[in-house]
A = this chain, B = another copy of it.
Amino acid sequence: MIRIGLDIGGTGIKIGAVDESNRIIAQTSIPTRQDLPFETQVDQMADAVLGLLDPSVDPRLTMDQVESIGAGIPGLADDNGIVIFCTNMGWKNVPLRESFQRRINKPFYVDNDANVAALAESIAGVSAGTSSSVFITLGTGIGCGIMINGKIWKGFHGIGGEMGHMILELDGEPCTCGNRGCLERYCSATALIQMARRMVAGHPESLILSLAGNDPMKIVAKTVFDALREGDPFAEKLFRRYVSCLSQSIANVVNFLDPEVILLGGGVSKAGDVLLNAVREEYPKYVVYGDMPMPPIRIAALGADAGIIGAAMLS
């Protein structure tokens, strides 16, 4: 049997067939077309799934073999397969399951992309075999997927996992959500970049600026880590501040929920060991029971595949 996963993103939709060993055996993609009506979007996705089912590529790629279809969306869906909203697709209260099943009559599931990634990692990735985990995505914003007792935890009303808008600083940095001091303003790639731009405005001698071709708008998260590796003291200072904020955010999760493991994903996590080692050293300082065993921090393993694999695993 195979399962189909759709990873619905801002610029493209990736579609993959996943086998019983959680491997992607076939994959395709279509562009995200926010301009089309909902039913046409669903048609295009269904057509892409049908196009993927080519037994000449792999004998398992037939409709008979398809056990279920799942979709991960950057938005909110309920248990009936209704997408409450998904800004990237222009969806608000659309019956994704019902519409999709009119084209392909298989069990269909939809969930938030951060939840989907947490699920994928907990089955086939770096948290495989754990019963509880919190997956934090350090990207443009902060994504968060929570696994409890081996299942995605979306909250009773389906509004949980919004770690990026937990308040980390009373009356702090203004956030796009309208509040102040949201964790996302301190721990996302965007936050790191903004901190770097402010830093080079005051310290144009920082290596960060020259590595960005002397254009502050070209600074990305990687620029800061590149300058850090070169020993730039301004990058070091930024990094320390970022690690402190991230460590306090992780400690908040541990002091409150204490999952079996914490995963980091997203763009900033590509910094790898330099980030991981710093956070591992720093975060226990903020844990109440600092001398007790506490969740290890790991970097997510599945990368971009987590979206397809996790969506395929939805049930």
Whether the Cβ atoms of B163 and A255 lie closer than 8 Å is yes
List CB contacts (< 8 Å) of A277-304 with chain B: 285-289, 292-295
Q: How far is the CA of A166 from the CA of B170 in the complex (A)?
A: 13
Q: How far is the CA of A146 from the CA of B156 in the complex (A)?
A: 13
Tell me whether A177 and B292 are in contact in the complex, defined as CB-CB below 8 angstroms, given that A156-B131, A248-B170 are known contacts. Answer: no
Which B residues are in CB contact (< 8 Å) with A258? Answer: 154-161
List CB contacts (< 8 Å) of A141-168 with chain B: 144, 146, 148-149, 153-163, 165-168
Which B residues are in CB contact (< 8 Å) with A252? Answer: 166-167, 252
A94 at the interface (CB under 8 A from B): no
Whether the Cβ atoms of A294 and B256 lie closer than 8 Å is no
A84 at the interface (CB under 8 A from B): yes
Q: Which of A162, A167, A260 has the most CB of B within 10 A?
A: A167
Residue in B131, B157, B163, B181 whose beta carbon sits within 8 Å of that of A294 in the complex: B157
Q: How far is the CA of A172 from the CA of B8 in the complex (A)?
A: 40
Binding site for B on A (CB under 8 A): 76, 84, 131-132, 144, 146, 148-149, 153-163, 165-170, 172, 177, 179, 181, 186, 245, 248, 251-260, 285-289, 292-295
Q: How far is the CA of A157 from the CA of B179 in the complex (A)?
A: 33
Whether the Cβ atoms of B295 and A165 lie closer than 8 Å is no
Tell me whether A167 and B287 are in contact in the complex, defined as CB-CB below 8 angstroms, given that A156-B258, A260-B156 are known contacts. Answer: no
The contact sample of 18 A-B pairs, CB cut-off 8 A, is A84-B292, A146-B256, A148-B148, A148-B153, A149-B149, A155-B254, A157-B260, A159-B288, A159-B289, A160-B254, A162-B255, A165-B255, A165-B288, A166-B251, A166-B256, A169-B169, A169-B181, A170-B245
Q: How far is the CA of A253 from the CA of B260 in the complex (A)?
A: 19
Whether the Cβ atoms of B156 and A292 lie closer than 8 Å is no
Which B residues are in CB contact (< 8 Å) with A289? Answer: 76, 159, 162
Q: How far is the CA of A292 from the CA of B181 in the complex (A)?
A: 22
Whether the Cβ atoms of B155 and A259 lie closer than 8 Å is yes
Tell me whether A170 and B157 are in contact in the complex, defined as CB-CB below 8 angstroms, given that A179-B285, A255-B163 are known contacts. Answer: no
Which B residues are in CB contact (< 8 Å) with A76? Answer: 289, 292
Whether the Cβ atoms of B167 and A286 lie closer than 8 Å is yes
Which B residues are in CB contact (< 8 Å) with A294? Answer: 157, 159
Whether the Cβ atoms of B256 and A167 lie closer than 8 Å is no
Which B residues are in CB contact (< 8 Å) with A255? Answer: 159-160, 162-163, 165-166
Q: Whose C-beta in chain B lies nearest to the C-beta of A84?
A: B292
Whether the Cβ atoms of B155 and A257 lie closer than 8 Å is yes
Q: How far is the CA of A251 from the CA of B186 in the complex (A)?
A: 18
Q: How far is the CA of A285 from the CA of B177 in the complex (A)?
A: 10
Q: How far is the CA of A111 from the CA of B112 in the complex (A)?
A: 35
Q: Whose C-beta in chain B lies nearest to the C-beta of A133?
A: B156
Q: How far is the CA of A253 from the CA of B161 in the complex (A)?
A: 10
Min CB gap A153→B, angstroms: 8
Q: Whose C-beta in chain B lies nearest to the C-beta of A165?
A: B288
Tell me whether A186 and B157 are in contact in the complex, defined as CB-CB below 8 angstroms, given that A177-B288, A256-B253, A257-B257 are known contacts. Answer: no
